Amino acid sequence: MYAKFHIKSGDRIKYHKCSSFWPGIKFAEPINKPFIGWIIGNGKKIDFWRDTWATSIPFREHIDLPNHLWKLCIAKVSDFINPDGWNFPTDISLVLLAMGINISSITCNQNSVDLRIWQPDIHGNFSLKNAFESTRTRLGTAWWWMYTWLQCLHPDLSGFAWKLMNRILPTDNLIQRKGIPLVSICNQCGLTAESAHHLFFECNVAKVLWSWVTSTFNIAAVDDNDS
C-alpha cells in the first residue's frame, strides 16, 4: 500500500491513481501523523525527514526546501546510529539543538527493530475507535442532552426527542428538501403542509395540547418564539 502511493524518496505521488480508498487515507494522513510515534531500534524503518520520531512534527515541515531537493533527502534514522549510539554530523547536531531537541534523551537500540506506536493509546496499539476519539472535533454538550437520554425514558422516545432537537424529524417538508416529490398535508388539522414547526406550534391540535399542559402543570405558556 505504502509503495503504491509513495515515491522512493518517501513523498506521496503527485499524479492521479485510481483507488476507492486512497483519497480517504490521503485526507486522514496529516491529521493522524502527529499521533504516530516510534520506539527506535536500529532506525532502518524510520524516515529521518518525514517521520515523527523526534518531535510531533516531521523535520520536513520545519524546513523550507524546494521539492526537487527533498527528493534527494532519503536518509533513514539508521544512517545516524552506530554501535555506540547516536552519531550525527556537526551541522545536523546544531539543527537539532536549535529545534530544542535533546537527542541524548531519545534512546535507540541497534540490536532491535523499530516499532511504530499509536501514542494516544497506553499500549501503543492503533484502532479506528481510538483514532476517531483522538482526532475528532468535540462540540459542547447541548443543554437538552441530559434530559433526552434519561434511563426512565423509552429508547424510542429518546430517539424521537433527539431528532426533534436536531431538527431532523422526517416531516414532509424535510423529505421534500431532499428532492423527493411529495404532496404534503398535516394529518392532524388538514389545513396546511406538514412541518415540525407547524406540528408543534401552529396546528390547532398542538395549541389545544399546549394549553392543557400549561394549565395542568402550571408552567409558562409556549409560543412560536420558543421553537
The owner of cell 529521518 is 48
Is residue 72 pLDDT above 80, yes or no? yes
pLDDT given for residue 10 in this prediction: 63
Print the domain residue range for 112.
2-135
In a shared domain, residues 69 and 41: yes
Residue 10 lies in a domain: yes
What's the mean pLDDT in 63-78? 88
Q: How many domains does the chain have?
A: 2
Per-residue pLDDT of 160-198, as tens digits, reads 999 999 999 999 999 999 999 999 999 999 999 999 999
Asked if 47 and 128 sit in the same domain, the reply is yes
| pLDDT tens, residue by residue, 86-138 | 999 998 888 888 888 888 899 998 889 999 999 999 898 988 888 888 888 87
* Domain end among 135, 158, 184: 135
Same domain, 109 and 199: no
Assess if residue 140 is contained within a domain.
Answer: no
pLDDT reading at 225 higher than 80? no
Q: Are 124 and 200 members of one domain?
A: no
Does 63 map to a domain?
Answer: yes
Do residues 117 and 28 both lie within one domain? yes
What is the helix (H) or strand (E) element at residue 115, kind and residue range?
A: strand 115-118
Residue 135 grid coordinates: 482526532
The pLDDT of residue 224? 61
**Mean pLDDT, all residues of the chain:** 87
Burial status of residue 50 (CB atoms within 10 A of its CB: 0-12, 13-18, 19 or more)? buried
190 with 114, same domain: the answer is no
Give the predicted TM-score (pTM) of the model.
0.56
